[in-house]
Amino acid sequence: MKLPAPVSIKWIASLINAELLGNETAEATGINEIHSVEPGDIVFVDHPKYYSKCLNSDASFVIINKKMEVPEGKTLLVVEEPFEAYLKIVNHFNAFVPAKKMISYTAVIGKNTTIMPNVFIGNNVNIGNNCIIHPNVSVYDNCIIGNNVVVHSGTVIGSDAFYFNSKKDRDVWHKKMQSCGRVIIEDDVEIGANCTIDRGVSADTKIGQGSKLDNLIHLGHEVTVGKNCIIAAQVGIAGGTKLGDGVMLWGQVGVNKTITIGDNAVVMGQAGITSSIEGNKTYWGTPIEEFYNKRKELVLIKRLPEIWERVKNLPGKEK
Catalytic residue status for 218: no
Is 79 within a domain? yes
Strand 174-176 relative to strand 164-166, pairing: antiparallel
Specify the pLDDT at position 103: 97
Specify the pLDDT at position 318: 59
Per annotation, catalytic residue among 134, 152, 218, 221: 221
Confidence band of 182 (pLDDT split at 50, 70, 90):
very high
Same domain, 130 and 88: no
Specify the pLDDT at position 116: 98
3-state helix/strand/coil string of the chain: CEEEEEEEHHHHHHHHCCEEEECCCCEEEEECCHHHCCCCEEEEECCHHHHHHHHCCCCCEEEECCCCCCCCCCEEEECCCHHHHHHHHHHHHCCCCCCCCCECCCCEECCCCEECCCCEECCCCEECCCCEECCCCEECCCCEECCCCEECCCCEEEECCCCEEECCCCCCCEEECCCCCEEEECCCCEECCCCEEECCCCCEEEECCCCEECCCCEECCCCEECCCCEECCCCEECCCCEECCCCEECCCCEECCCCEECCCCEECCCCEECCCECCCCEEECCCCEEHHHHHHHHHHHHCHHHHHHHHHCCCCCCC
Of the candidate ranges 189-198, 235-244, 310-319, the one whose mean pLDDT is the lowest: 310-319
Same domain, 187 and 59: no
pLDDT digits (tens, 9 = 90+) for 101-131: 999 999 999 999 999 999 999 999 999 999 9
For all residues of the chain together, what is the average pLDDT? 94
Is 314 within a domain? no
Of residues 113 and 298, the one with the higher pLDDT is: 113
Chain-centroid distance of CA 221 in Å reads 3
Same domain, 37 and 150: no
Specify the pLDDT at position 288: 87
Of residues 14 and 293, the one with the higher pLDDT is: 14
Same domain, 141 and 273: yes
Is 306 within a domain? no
What percent of the chain has a predicted confidence (pLDDT) above 70? 99
Q: Within 13 Å, how many C-alpha atoms sit on residue 17's CB side?
A: 4
Same domain, 55 and 173: no
* pLDDT beyond 80 at 316: no
Q: For residue 88, give every residue at least 6 positions away whose Cβ sits within 8 Å of its Cβ, in sequence order, or none.
A: 15, 16
* pLDDT beyond 80 at 84: yes
Specify the pLDDT at position 300: 80
Of the candidate ranges 21-30, 138-147, 211-220, the one whose mean pLDDT is the lowest: 21-30
Is 66 within a domain? yes
pLDDT digits (tens, 9 = 90+) for 199-221: 999 999 999 999 999 999 999 99
Specify the pLDDT at position 297: 79
Confidence band of 30 (pLDDT split at 50, 70, 90):
very high
Specify the pLDDT at position 295: 77
Partners of 2 in the beta sheet?
A: 30
Same domain, 89 and 180: no
CA distances (Å), origin 286, targets 67, 252, 302: 45, 12, 18
Same domain, 157 and 193: yes
Is 310 within a domain? no
Same domain, 29 and 120: no
* pLDDT beyond 90 at 291: no
Q: How many domains does the chain have?
A: 2
Specify the pLDDT at position 207: 98
Q: How many CB atoms lie within 10 A of CB 118?
A: 12
Strand 2-8 relative to strand 27-31, pairing: antiparallel
Which domain-ending residue is among 93, 127, 158? Answer: 93
Specify the pLDDT at position 247: 98
Same domain, 136 and 276: yes
Same domain, 165 and 286: yes
Same domain, 226 and 259: yes
Specify the pLDDT at position 294: 77
Is 312 within a domain? no
Which domain-ending residue is among 67, 93, 119? Answer: 93
Specify the pLDDT at position 319: 53
Containing structural domain, residue 19: 2-93
Is 284 within a domain? yes
* pLDDT beyond 90 at 186: yes
CATH of the domain at 198: 2.160.10.10
Is 154 within a domain? yes
Confidence band of 65 (pLDDT split at 50, 70, 90):
very high
Same domain, 33 and 148: no
CATH of the domain at 29: 3.40.1390.10
